[in-house]
Amino acid sequence: MNPKVIIFDFDGTIADSLDALVNISNRLAVQFGYKQTSIAELAQIQNLTSREIIKQSGISIFKVPFLVKKVKAELSFEIKTLSLFPGMKEALIELHQLGNKLVIISSNSKPNIVSFLEHNALIDKFYYIYSGSTIFGKDKVINRFIRQENIDVKDVIYVGDETRDIESAKKSKVIAIAVSWGFNTKEVLMRQNPDYLIEQPSELIDIVKKQ
Protein backbone atom coordinates (compact mmCIF):
# COMPACT_ATOMS: atom_id res chain seq x y z
CA MET A 1 0.00 0.00 0.00
CA ASN A 2 1.29 3.42 -0.97
CA PRO A 3 0.88 5.77 2.06
CA LYS A 4 -1.71 8.49 1.52
CA VAL A 5 -2.39 11.97 2.79
CA ILE A 6 -5.87 11.77 4.30
CA ILE A 7 -7.57 15.11 4.90
CA PHE A 8 -10.45 15.11 7.37
CA ASP A 9 -13.16 17.60 8.06
CA PHE A 10 -13.55 17.96 11.84
CA ASP A 11 -17.14 18.72 12.90
CA GLY A 12 -19.51 15.94 11.88
CA THR A 13 -16.70 13.74 10.59
CA ILE A 14 -14.41 13.21 13.58
CA ALA A 15 -16.27 15.04 16.36
CA ASP A 16 -19.99 14.58 17.05
CA SER A 17 -20.71 18.28 17.50
CA LEU A 18 -24.11 18.66 15.82
CA ASP A 19 -26.23 19.08 18.96
CA ALA A 20 -23.78 21.59 20.44
CA LEU A 21 -23.61 23.59 17.21
CA VAL A 22 -27.40 23.68 16.82
CA ASN A 23 -27.82 24.87 20.42
CA ILE A 24 -25.19 27.58 19.95
CA SER A 25 -26.68 28.67 16.63
CA ASN A 26 -30.12 28.95 18.19
CA ARG A 27 -28.75 31.10 21.02
CA LEU A 28 -27.19 33.45 18.46
CA ALA A 29 -30.22 33.64 16.15
CA VAL A 30 -31.58 36.97 17.37
CA GLN A 31 -28.14 38.62 17.37
CA PHE A 32 -27.44 37.62 13.75
CA GLY A 33 -30.95 37.95 12.36
CA TYR A 34 -32.05 34.44 11.44
CA LYS A 35 -34.68 32.11 12.83
CA GLN A 36 -33.97 29.34 15.30
CA THR A 37 -33.99 25.71 14.16
CA SER A 38 -36.41 23.23 15.71
CA ILE A 39 -35.77 19.48 15.86
CA ALA A 40 -38.31 18.94 13.07
CA GLU A 41 -36.69 21.62 10.91
CA LEU A 42 -33.23 20.15 11.51
CA ALA A 43 -34.24 16.89 9.85
CA GLN A 44 -35.37 18.84 6.79
CA ILE A 45 -32.26 21.04 6.73
CA GLN A 46 -30.00 17.98 6.71
CA ASN A 47 -31.37 17.21 3.25
CA LEU A 48 -30.20 20.56 1.88
CA THR A 49 -26.83 21.57 0.50
CA SER A 50 -24.73 24.07 2.48
CA ARG A 51 -25.62 26.87 0.07
CA GLU A 52 -29.33 26.07 0.28
CA ILE A 53 -29.16 26.16 4.09
CA ILE A 54 -27.66 29.65 4.17
CA LYS A 55 -30.17 30.88 1.60
CA GLN A 56 -33.10 29.42 3.55
CA SER A 57 -31.88 30.80 6.89
CA GLY A 58 -32.21 34.37 5.66
CA ILE A 59 -28.89 35.42 7.19
CA SER A 60 -26.90 37.96 5.23
CA ILE A 61 -23.91 36.33 3.53
CA PHE A 62 -21.81 39.20 4.90
CA LYS A 63 -22.67 38.17 8.46
CA VAL A 64 -21.64 34.54 8.00
CA PRO A 65 -17.90 35.01 8.82
CA PHE A 66 -18.81 36.87 12.02
CA LEU A 67 -21.31 34.17 12.96
CA VAL A 68 -18.72 31.44 12.39
CA LYS A 69 -16.22 33.30 14.59
CA LYS A 70 -18.78 33.63 17.38
CA VAL A 71 -19.83 29.98 17.13
CA LYS A 72 -16.20 28.86 17.42
CA ALA A 73 -15.74 31.00 20.52
CA GLU A 74 -18.89 29.59 22.14
CA LEU A 75 -17.93 26.02 21.23
CA SER A 76 -14.61 26.35 23.05
CA PHE A 77 -16.51 26.07 26.34
CA GLU A 78 -18.02 22.73 25.30
CA ILE A 79 -15.30 21.15 23.16
CA LYS A 80 -14.14 18.64 25.77
CA THR A 81 -17.69 17.39 26.28
CA LEU A 82 -18.02 16.33 22.64
CA SER A 83 -17.62 12.70 21.63
CA LEU A 84 -15.79 10.94 18.85
CA PHE A 85 -18.05 9.05 16.50
CA PRO A 86 -18.05 5.31 17.34
CA GLY A 87 -15.10 3.56 15.72
CA MET A 88 -13.38 6.78 14.66
CA LYS A 89 -10.55 6.64 17.19
CA GLU A 90 -9.65 3.09 16.20
CA ALA A 91 -9.77 3.99 12.51
CA LEU A 92 -7.53 7.03 12.96
CA ILE A 93 -4.99 5.06 14.98
CA GLU A 94 -4.83 2.28 12.38
CA LEU A 95 -4.57 4.71 9.46
CA HIS A 96 -1.67 6.40 11.24
CA GLN A 97 0.01 3.07 12.01
CA LEU A 98 -0.20 2.16 8.31
CA GLY A 99 2.03 5.14 7.54
CA ASN A 100 -0.57 7.58 6.23
CA LYS A 101 -0.34 11.29 7.00
CA LEU A 102 -3.52 12.53 8.70
CA VAL A 103 -4.59 16.14 8.22
CA ILE A 104 -7.53 18.25 9.40
CA ILE A 105 -8.91 21.20 7.43
CA SER A 106 -11.76 22.89 9.27
CA SER A 107 -13.60 26.16 9.82
CA ASN A 108 -13.50 25.37 13.54
CA SER A 109 -10.68 27.00 15.53
CA LYS A 110 -7.31 25.33 15.93
CA PRO A 111 -7.41 25.64 19.75
CA ASN A 112 -10.78 23.85 19.75
CA ILE A 113 -9.49 21.06 17.51
CA VAL A 114 -6.23 20.64 19.43
CA SER A 115 -8.09 20.60 22.76
CA PHE A 116 -10.45 17.89 21.48
CA LEU A 117 -7.64 15.75 20.04
CA GLU A 118 -5.55 16.08 23.20
CA HIS A 119 -8.54 15.15 25.34
CA ASN A 120 -8.97 12.00 23.23
CA ALA A 121 -5.24 11.15 23.06
CA LEU A 122 -5.10 11.64 19.28
CA ILE A 123 -3.05 14.80 18.83
CA ASP A 124 0.12 12.88 17.93
CA LYS A 125 -1.68 11.11 15.08
CA PHE A 126 -2.11 14.27 13.02
CA TYR A 127 0.55 15.69 10.74
CA TYR A 128 -1.12 19.04 10.06
CA ILE A 129 -4.15 21.03 11.28
CA TYR A 130 -5.53 23.97 9.32
CA SER A 131 -8.17 26.28 10.74
CA GLY A 132 -9.69 29.16 8.85
CA SER A 133 -12.70 30.66 7.12
CA THR A 134 -13.33 27.69 4.88
CA ILE A 135 -17.12 27.74 4.56
CA PHE A 136 -17.02 27.56 0.76
CA GLY A 137 -13.29 27.70 0.08
CA LYS A 138 -11.84 24.43 1.26
CA ASP A 139 -10.66 23.57 -2.25
CA LYS A 140 -8.33 26.59 -2.16
CA VAL A 141 -6.92 25.44 1.19
CA ILE A 142 -6.52 21.87 -0.09
CA ASN A 143 -4.75 23.09 -3.23
CA ARG A 144 -2.41 25.34 -1.26
CA PHE A 145 -1.55 22.51 1.13
CA ILE A 146 -0.82 20.14 -1.78
CA ARG A 147 1.49 22.71 -3.38
CA GLN A 148 3.29 23.55 -0.13
CA GLU A 149 3.90 19.91 0.72
CA ASN A 150 4.72 18.96 -2.89
CA ILE A 151 2.22 16.10 -2.81
CA ASP A 152 0.96 14.17 -5.82
CA VAL A 153 -2.78 14.84 -6.02
CA LYS A 154 -3.33 11.11 -6.66
CA ASP A 155 -2.09 10.41 -3.12
CA VAL A 156 -4.66 12.66 -1.43
CA ILE A 157 -8.00 11.55 0.03
CA TYR A 158 -10.59 13.90 1.51
CA VAL A 159 -13.15 12.74 4.11
CA GLY A 160 -16.16 14.88 5.02
CA ASP A 161 -19.81 14.85 6.04
CA GLU A 162 -21.27 17.78 4.09
CA THR A 163 -22.02 18.56 0.47
CA ARG A 164 -19.50 21.40 0.50
CA ASP A 165 -16.79 18.91 1.52
CA ILE A 166 -17.47 16.74 -1.51
CA GLU A 167 -17.71 19.80 -3.73
CA SER A 168 -14.29 20.99 -2.53
CA ALA A 169 -12.67 17.58 -2.94
CA LYS A 170 -13.90 17.35 -6.52
CA LYS A 171 -12.66 20.85 -7.34
CA SER A 172 -9.25 19.83 -6.00
CA LYS A 173 -9.36 16.57 -7.99
CA VAL A 174 -8.74 14.39 -4.93
CA ILE A 175 -10.59 11.25 -3.88
CA ALA A 176 -13.82 12.25 -2.11
CA ILE A 177 -15.16 10.08 0.71
CA ALA A 178 -18.53 11.11 2.15
CA VAL A 179 -19.52 9.85 5.62
CA SER A 180 -23.14 9.15 6.48
CA TRP A 181 -22.87 9.75 10.25
CA GLY A 182 -22.47 13.54 10.11
CA PHE A 183 -24.65 16.49 9.16
CA ASN A 184 -25.97 15.80 5.67
CA THR A 185 -28.09 12.76 4.87
CA LYS A 186 -26.93 9.93 2.62
CA GLU A 187 -29.43 11.01 -0.02
CA VAL A 188 -28.13 14.55 -0.43
CA LEU A 189 -24.50 13.37 -0.24
CA MET A 190 -25.12 10.85 -3.02
CA ARG A 191 -26.33 13.65 -5.28
CA GLN A 192 -22.82 15.13 -5.04
CA ASN A 193 -21.39 11.91 -6.53
CA PRO A 194 -18.58 11.21 -4.04
CA ASP A 195 -16.09 8.51 -4.95
CA TYR A 196 -17.20 6.61 -1.85
CA LEU A 197 -20.03 6.90 0.67
CA ILE A 198 -19.35 5.05 3.91
CA GLU A 199 -21.41 4.22 6.99
CA GLN A 200 -18.67 3.12 9.40
CA PRO A 201 -15.21 4.62 10.10
CA SER A 202 -13.68 1.16 9.72
CA GLU A 203 -14.53 1.29 6.01
CA LEU A 204 -11.84 3.95 5.63
CA ILE A 205 -9.16 1.34 6.25
CA ASP A 206 -10.25 -0.88 3.36
CA ILE A 207 -10.61 2.05 0.95
CA VAL A 208 -7.17 3.44 1.76
CA LYS A 209 -5.53 0.03 1.43
CA LYS A 210 -6.98 -0.33 -2.08
CA GLN A 211 -5.60 2.97 -3.35
Chain centre to alpha carbon of residue 86: 16
- The predicted pLDDT at position 135 comes to 59
Angle value at C-alpha 118, between 114 and 121, nearest 5 degrees? 140
Mean pLDDT of 80-88: 96
- In DSSP terms, 160 is beta-bridged to 178
| Nearest alpha carbon to residue 104 among 10, 173, 204, 202 | 10
Mean pLDDT of 8-17: 96
Phi, psi angle pair for 196, to nearest 5°: -140, 150
Q: In whole angstroms, what is the distance from residue 135 CA to residue 50 CA? A: 9
- The predicted pLDDT at position 138 comes to 86
pTM equals 0.88
Q: How confident is the model at residue 66 (pLDDT cuts 50, 70, 90)?
A: confident
Statement: residue 134 has pLDDT above 90: no
Mean pLDDT of the chain: 89
**Which tops the pLDDT comparison, 84 or 21?**
84
- The predicted pLDDT at position 28 comes to 82
For 157, the enclosing helix (H) or strand (E) is strand 156-160
CB contact set of 103 (below 8 Å; sequence gap of 6+): 5, 6, 7, 8, 126, 127, 128, 129, 130, 145
Residues known to be catalytic:
9
